[in-house]
Structure 1
Amino acid sequence: MKPADAPPPARLPASLPAWLPSWAPVVLPALIAAADALLVNGADPSTELGVSLLAAVALLWRRRFPATVFAATLPGMYLAYVWIAPMIALYTVAARRPDRWLLGTAGLLMAAAQFVPYPVSDLPLTDRRQLAVNLVDAFVVAATPIALGLLTRTRRELADRLEELTRSRAREDRLLADRVLATERARLAREMHDVVAHQVSLISLQAGAVQISTEDTRARAGARTIRELSVRTLDELRHMVGILRAAGADTEELTPQPRLADLPRLIELSALDVAFEDACDRETVYSEAVERAAFRTVQEALTNVRKHAPGAKVTVRVAGDGAGGLLVEIRNGPADAAVPAPELPGGGHGLVGLRERAQSLGGTLEAHPTREGGFLVRARLPRE
């Protein structure tokens, strides 16, 4: 009969050191089980030693045939009292086979092999206390490798799921960034329409005036051709911009875009504590695209303050950058804890569009937190 005070089997590590060769996880368990067989049964040839070594050798195929290898280790446990080989085999079944019926059957077989002595006549039927101790010991021995195997499998599944979620999140972020860039490109195309349409309209008007006022037949015909080409250009431009707006999910109308002169009105309607400093040189004339970019920069920065720093004090400064360009700076302090956050959605993608807009004009845009706990957005735009 198995001794009641026998020490519990040693737990095998869940993973081996990385510096070991690739074959080590396959061979080492078999070597440990063989050493256990020799320690328990001695080196003298016997049936018990034979079935114990057979169980150890069978572990070499435990990953490929976990259930079969476990069945091959049970005789060694029942006849020769070896624990290492059947526990490793049962751990492999729990880690690699999701079938609950198979795992439950394997656990019961191992508990039975541990509980029923060899020979069966040694079973202490009259000693109920010893019988209960042996029964508890049998179920503990069977449950330990099952628990470790299920833990390993769950950890592996969670790691795979986390990796899949990470890849999916990265893919969604790329798609969202591409969509934001497409939307901003569509808006830039709309603004290009405003500029080009204005100039082409002037050309068409001048050509119409020449067509009416001139007496020269050739000049009149040339003016008529210019006017027809201008009208056709406007139609094609509107059509192409409409396609770009649809692709970029831009539903705004083709209306004239704001300029620097509209900033006071924007700040007035922002419902924020804003100090506005206009230090621009009135003699310096900036292009329409630059003024629109400056307006959009202030607009987006104020929107971000409203989202992420409610109640913060804001300073908006527009001035020359010393090199003929335009400097737009929006600086806000930390949020006021007494003001409730509006909880508006936002992922910082508006800054992506602003940066692309500034770079398309030959300028730069920087955005980063300040030491005081606030945030700074600074754009440097060229004059033209």
Structure 2
Amino acid sequence: MSKIQRRGGYLLAALLVLGAVLASCGKDPVAPPEPVLATPPQLDPPSGDLDSLDVITITCSDPDVVIKYTLDGSDPTELSARYTQPLQLSQLFPPMVRNGVLKARSFKPGRYPSLTVSGAYTIEMPPLPASFVLIPGGTFNNGSANVNVSSFYLDSFELTQASYQAVMGANPSYFPGPDKPVERVSWFDAIAYCNRRSIREGLTPCYSYGQQGMDPDNWPLDWNQNDINHAYVYCNWDATGYRLPTEMEWMFAARGGSGFQGYIYPGGNNLGPLGWYLDNCGAVYGSTQSVGQKQANELGLFDMAGNVAEIVWDVFSAYPGTYQVDYRGPNPTLAGEPHCVRGGSFQSMEEVCRVDARGQTGCTSLFNHTGFRLARRAMSAK
């Protein structure tokens, strides 16, 4: 091929390219395809004021998506929690949270994540039982050192047999009577009752057992059969549910709180009008009595002396000799230490009913003179 022919071929190719370029001028560029998003989920209810027992359901018209959600205000990612079942408010948001935001998003292979949907909820906590009294916090001396106790709620009455049976389905008491305090209950029984009632009322339970969570139905069948198992019971002190008072809470309340007047017994120096004990009950009636018949102490608490001795949270041990804040005793161990009881019972002599007197019981022990009363964390306004 001659040079002239080659040059002619190059020229022709160049003209063809130039023609193609010129032909494309004036035309809009081809837009990239719109991203295809996954179908967004829907919240039911979408927002609003809800009771803590209410549930939030997340649905999507596309059954093939995976729904992820968050509670911290961030947009969900593929690493966020996966929605699998309706979400109960009392279990969804952390304890003490009154306002929460739930965000949800759909994910599907081959598609971009959906737009995020969100709902803002105000959580209405169940009303506190009328018998509960606010114990304003304060500092007192327990005989070894000063102790500061935060505000909390305490039931005015020892837990009755009717209240126990309504939750547990059985009444183990030796002295039957719906308004009498429940007895023949162990420390473990009190723990189980607190959680079961909390769940029933839509509150966050205080206690968990090992890695088995807060629902006693999921705990090992023999969890309450050996004292050493108290080492696996943990308390979330921020939870909204029912719990046992600590020994320091009980003692502070029995003394009348910050208004302590130096009385020997809860509410006075003469035990007879204040409580059922050996001299006015054991020899004559020989049993527990209906709660609330004697005089209350300065804070409106009944039967803090006598009737039944009251189980509290703490392991029985010597008090620290230094200033403490919300002291809860040493951690339970596999040694199976006994726990404290307070207040004396209908079988007790006067000295056992003093505000500074202590007793002890095993975690599995059952006595017809031992029961408990309930406490709750003081809810701060939010």
Bigger Cα Rg: 1
**TM-score of the two chains, using structure 2 as the length reference:** 0.19
Greater strand share, structure number: 2
Higher relative contact order (CA 8 A, sep 6+): 2
TM-score by length of 1: 0.19
